[in-house]
């Protein structure tokens, strides 16, 4: 068992409202990712669940039992910190053994558990070293081993891969997913990296300014963003947003373009809207069922693809194209739009208007 | 990534990023620098050297005119007089030194025991009106001791603490606790709170987390702070001379000052007593010099 339920978490630091009614339900055994930009309250959420932060309001239930007032030690959780927080005076072995020592396990039990963990994470050669003698990746593994050495209710991870270089981060991503699968334990994982969120999560909660914007599977969050902000935050290159309104069977852009009105939208005529289209649903190579004309603004070759920036009026569209695409800035470009995969948002509230008709 | 305290206080090369000082004469120190430093050293060290010289001179050399810098007869009589009384028993000065040791030692230990946990609490816990409280604590050090010594004298007389070692210990502790809290808070701030967070998730209580993981990292800071508190208590003069009178209670500073005056002053004895008085602090500071430097710089350097 290992369910974590946080309800209506509120926390302010002075005048800053870090958490403003955050509610998360983490099912047993899931890899639950809390995604958001820095300052969104992700770490505070995690610390509140761990009991390291005193809440202004809200409750934390662990396995269905109210644990809001419990000390961190009584919650049976393990945490990996962003900066690892390895005890500097202790060897890697002693760091990993610490949770077991705190629980007064026998030294033979401890030795066996540390041995098992260090093998799993390939750090068995480093056990006698101190944190200062370890590289970033090694420290990260020791911190992970310290959390994994016992079987708590849930593992809390606070951006554990942020301080690693890119190659190691990709490796550890795979490794963490593997560990999660083999343990079948509950993971609550905080990150600002959408790639981590989309690639590792069973469930993603998108957080902004202390409020949960959307909870769903990675596919849901990517394919059906609940609002304009989530659409803009998740996805790279970012989604293109164009101001427009509906007029009969057409969408009329603020920059003078017109497109056929998508069948699925129910927005009434004249309401201020934002049309959101992802780069892969736009094309400069004749595809899709509607087109916009603009000027080539710039090319961004990324190896496997090229992102083409097209200026339509004063707005820039990000278009994904084949790496072979060429062009000179200023030249006229016709962009086709796959309207069936586009999104419409209310320009005032930012809420998605796409769901109703689909 | 947080720099661990171990790294920060390592004996390795100091990470000094200030540009090298401009040298007037290329390699090494210039002649001007050497000359100025020599002058400074002579000015600073002369009283100390003169004190040491006087303490080992015979009385007729002490009063010799013109003063004799070299070629006097060396004697240890004055040092003997510091510890042995005229009747062959213990001298009043030796009792005063013992009193000083007891008063300074106990008040330093008390200030450390009270101040370190307080500093930790101010650094880590959400204390209401923390800044105001810290300012209030600091404000108790704004007044020079001589301003408060009369009210304290009157209060002590009422409660019977006048002319007692306990009274001196209490007043020195009261003066050292604010200093300890302020200095230690800087050190505690430098130790990342995550160590304690991690320890609490490991299953330790908050106090265990502090005791097992933070306190060992604070040892250099505690050593530095304690040395300063010890020096304050050891050197303190104003309270000691106002609040104590009997030889059995008096500490060394007023006892040494008491040697001056009367019809004749035994300058050899004064100098010898002063040397003995200065030694313990020097020795102690030397023993903890590594911690002292690490402690002082650790508190000052931003990570």
Indicate yes or no: CB of B198 within 8 angstroms of CB of A54. no
Chain A nearest-CA distance from B118, in A, is 20
Alpha-carbon span B37 to A46, nearest angstrom:
58
**Any B CB within 8 A of A332 CB:** no
The per-residue pLDDT for A255 is 85
Look at the block and give the residue holding tokens 């009792």: B95
pLDDT in tens, A91-115: 999 999 999 999 999 999 999 999 9
Partner residue opposite B203 with nearest CB, options A73, A83, A130: A73
Alpha-carbon span B212 to B195, nearest angstrom:
10
Alpha-carbon span A150 to A146, nearest angstrom:
8
Instruction: Read off the tokens for A300.
Output: 């961004």
Instruction: Read off the tokens for A350.
Output: 């930012």
Q: B133 lies in a domain?
A: yes
**Any B CB within 8 A of A103 CB:** yes
Chain B residues with CB under 8 Å of A81 CB are 194, 197-198
Instruction: Return the domain boundaries, chain A.
Output: 4-229, 236-346
Find the DSSP H helices in chain A: 42-50, 92-102, 107-120, 136-148, 166-183, 194-200, 218-223, 228-233
Q: What is the pLDDT along chain B (303 residues), one digit of tens a residue?
A: 344 444 444 444 444 455 555 544 455 678 899 999 999 999 999 999 999 989 998 888 888 778 777 778 888 888 988 888 888 788 888 999 999 999 999 999 999 999 999 999 999 988 888 889 999 988 888 888 888 899 999 999 999 999 999 999 999 999 999 999 999 999 999 888 999 999 999 999 999 999 999 999 998 889 889 988 998 999 999 999 999 989 899 999 999 998 888 778 888 899 999 999 999 888 887 887 777 676 655 544 333
Alpha-carbon span B193 to A53, nearest angstrom:
12
The per-residue pLDDT for A207 is 95
∠ CA A214-A217-A222, rounded to 5°: 70
What's the full length of chain A, in residues?
Answer: 358
Handedness of CA B165, B170, B174, B179 (dihedral sign): positive
DSSP type of residue A281? G
Indicate yes or no: CB of A78 within 8 angstroms of CB of B204. no
DSSP, collapsed to helix, strand or coil, labels residue B296 as helix
Q: Where are the beta strands (DSSP E) in B10-64?
A: none
pLDDT in tens, A305-318: 999 999 988 889 99
Alpha-carbon span B251 to B229, nearest angstrom:
16
Whole-model pTM? 0.79
Indicate yes or no: CB of A83 within 8 angstroms of CB of B204. no
Question: In terms of pLDDT, which residue wins out, A271 or A214?
Answer: A214
From A226-240, A274-288, B148-162, B171-185, the region with the lowest mean pLDDT: A274-288
CA-based nearest residue in chain B for residue A157: B198
Alpha-carbon span B71 to A81, nearest angstrom:
70
Average confidence (pLDDT) over A320-324: 90
Domain extent at residue B117: 102-251+284-300
Indicate yes or no: CB of B199 within 8 angstroms of CB of A98. yes
Find the DSSP H helices in B191-288: 194-202, 206-209, 215-235, 238-243, 252-259, 267-287
The per-residue pLDDT for A249 is 84
Alpha-carbon span A17 to A209, nearest angstrom:
8
Chain B nearest-CA distance from A212, in A, is 25
Alpha-carbon span A163 to B206, nearest angstrom:
27
pLDDT in tens, B264-275: 888 889 999 999
Indicate yes or no: CB of B199 within 8 angstroms of CB of A87. yes
Interface test with A, best of B8, B191, B203 (most A CBs within 10 A): B203
Q: Please give the tally of structural domains in chain B.
A: 1
Instruction: Read off the tokens for B214.
Output: 């933070």
Chain A residues with CB under 8 Å of B202 CB are 73, 98-99, 101-102, 146
Indicate yes or no: CB of B195 within 8 angstroms of CB of A85. yes
Chain A residues with CB under 8 Å of B213 CB are 87
Instruction: Read off the tokens for A314.
Output: 């004063």
Q: B218 lies in a domain?
A: yes
CATH class (in words) of the domain with range A236-346: mainly beta
- DSSP secondary structure letters along A328-351: -TT-EEEEEE-GGG-EEEETTT-B
DSSP, collapsed to helix, strand or coil, labels residue A272 as coil
Indicate yes or no: CB of B203 within 8 angstroms of CB of A163. no
Asked if A201 and A31 count as a contact pair (C-beta separation under 8 A), the reply is yes
Alpha-carbon span A223 to A15, nearest angstrom:
36
Q: Which CATH number fits domain A4-229: 3.20.20.105, 3.40.1180.10, 3.20.20.70, 3.40.50.300?
A: 3.40.50.300
Alpha-carbon span A260 to A263, nearest angstrom:
9
Indicate yes or no: CB of A85 within 8 angstroms of CB of B192. yes
Q: Please report, for residues A19, A83, B198, the alpha-carbon distance to residue A164 in angstroms, rounded to integers and kept in the order given.
A: 28, 10, 20
The per-residue pLDDT for B259 is 87
Indicate yes or no: CB of A79 within 8 angstroms of CB of B198. yes
Alpha-carbon span B244 to B161, nearest angstrom:
10
- ipTM value of the model? 0.84
Comparing C-alpha atoms, which of A240, A264, A260, A249 is closest to residue A354?
A264
The 10 Å CB-count burial string (b at 16+, else e) for B77-100 is ebbebbeeeeeeeebebbbbbebb
Chain B residues with CB under 8 Å of A78 CB are 201
DSSP, collapsed to helix, strand or coil, labels residue B181 as helix
Task: Give the confidence band of A288 by pLDDT, cuts at 50, 70, 90.
Answer: low
User: Which CATH number is B158's domain given?
Assistant: 1.10.3720.10
Burial level of B245, CB count in 10 A (0-12/13-18/19+)? exposed
CA-based nearest residue in chain B for residue A48: B197
Residue A220: count of CB within 10 angstroms of its CB: 14
Alpha-carbon span B259 to A180, nearest angstrom:
79
Phi, psi of A76 (to 5 degrees): 60, 50
Asked if A89 and B6 count as a contact pair (C-beta separation under 8 A), the reply is yes
Cα of B203 vs its chain's centroid, Å: 39
Q: B27 lies in a domain?
A: no
């Amino acid at each position: 068992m290992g369910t974590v339920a946080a309800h209506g978490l509120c926390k302010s630091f002075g005048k800053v409202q870090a958490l403003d009614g955050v509610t998360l339900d983490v099912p047993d055994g899931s890899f639950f990712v809390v995604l958001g930009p820095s300052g969104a309250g992700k770490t505070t959420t995690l610390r509140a669940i761990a009991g390291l932060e005193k809440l202004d309001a809200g409750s934390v239930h662990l396995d269905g039992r109210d644990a809001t007032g419990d000390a961190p030690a009584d919650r049976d959780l393990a945490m990996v910190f962003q900066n690892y927080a390895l005890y500097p005076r202790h060897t890697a072995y002693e760091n990993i053994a610490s949770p077991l020592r705190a629980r007064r396990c026998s030294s033979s039990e401890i030795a066996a558990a540390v041995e098992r963990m260090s093998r799993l994470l390939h750090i068995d050669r480093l056990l006698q070293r101190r944190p200062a003698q370890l590289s970033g990746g090694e420290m990260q593994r020791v911190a992970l081993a310290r959390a994994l050495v016992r079987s708590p209710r849930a593992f809390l991870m606070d951006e554990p891969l942020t301080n690693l270089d890119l190659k190691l981060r990709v490796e550890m991503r795979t490794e963490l997913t593997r560990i999660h699968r083999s343990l079948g334990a509950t993971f609550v994982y905080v990150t600002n990296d959408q790639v981590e969120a989309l690639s590792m999560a069973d469930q993603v909660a998108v957080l902004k300014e202390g409020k949960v914007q959307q909870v769903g599977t990675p596919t849901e969050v990517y394919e059906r963003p609940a609002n304009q902000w989530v659409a803009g935050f998740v996805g790279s290159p970012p989604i293109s947003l164009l101001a427009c309104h509906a007029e009969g069977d057409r969408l009329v852009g603020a920059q003078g373009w017109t497109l056929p009105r998508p069948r699925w939208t129910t927005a009434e005529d004249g309401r201020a809207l934002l049309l959101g289209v992802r780069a892969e649903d736009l094309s400069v190579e004749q595809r899709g069922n509607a087109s916009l004309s603009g000027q080539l603004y710039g090319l961004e070759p990324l190896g496997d693809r090229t992102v083409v920036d097209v200026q339509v009026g004063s707005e820039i569209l990000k278009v994904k194209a084949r790496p072979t695409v060429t062009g000179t800035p200023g030249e006229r470009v016709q962009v086709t739009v796959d309207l069936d995969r586009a999104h419409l948002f209310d320009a005032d509230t930012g809420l998605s208007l796409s769901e109703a008709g689909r | 990534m947080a720099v661990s305290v171990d790294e920060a206080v390592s004996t390795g090369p100091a990470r000094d990023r200030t540009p090298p000082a401009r040298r007037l004469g290329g390699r090494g120190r210039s002649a001007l620098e050497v000359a100025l430093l020599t002058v400074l050293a002579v000015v600073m060290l002369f009283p100390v050297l003169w004190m040491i010289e006087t303490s080992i001179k015979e009385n007729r050399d002490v009063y010799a005119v013109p003063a004799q810098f070299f070629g006097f007869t060396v004697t240890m009589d004055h040092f003997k007089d510091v510890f042995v009384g005229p009747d062959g028993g213990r001298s009043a000065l030796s009792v005063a030194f013992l009193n000083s040791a007891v008063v300074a030692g106990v008040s330093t230990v008390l200030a450390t025991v009270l101040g370190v946990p307080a500093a930790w609490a101010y650094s880590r816990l959400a204390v209401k009106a923390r800044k105001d409280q810290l300012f209030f604590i600091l404000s108790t050090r704004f007044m020079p001791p001589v301003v408060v010594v009369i009210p304290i004298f009157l209060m002590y007389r009422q409660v019977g603490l006048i002319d007692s070692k306990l009274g001196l210990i209490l007043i020195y502790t009261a003066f050292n606790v604010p200093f300890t809290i302020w200095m230690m808070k800087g050190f505690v701030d430098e130790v990342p709170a995550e160590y304690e967070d991690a320890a609490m998730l490991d299953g330790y209580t908050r106090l265990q987390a502090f005791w097992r993981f933070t306190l060992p990292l604070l040892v250099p800071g505690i050593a530095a702070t304690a040395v300063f508190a010890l020096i304050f208590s050891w050197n303190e003069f104003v309270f000691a001379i106002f609040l104590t009178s009997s030889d059995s209670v008096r500490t060394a500073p007023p006892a040494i000052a008491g040697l001056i005056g009367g019809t004749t002053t035994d300058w050899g004895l004064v100098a010898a007593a002063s040397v003995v008085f200065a030694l313990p602090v020097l020795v102690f500071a030397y023993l903890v010099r590594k911690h002292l430097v690490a402690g002082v710089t650790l508190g000052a350097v931003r990570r």
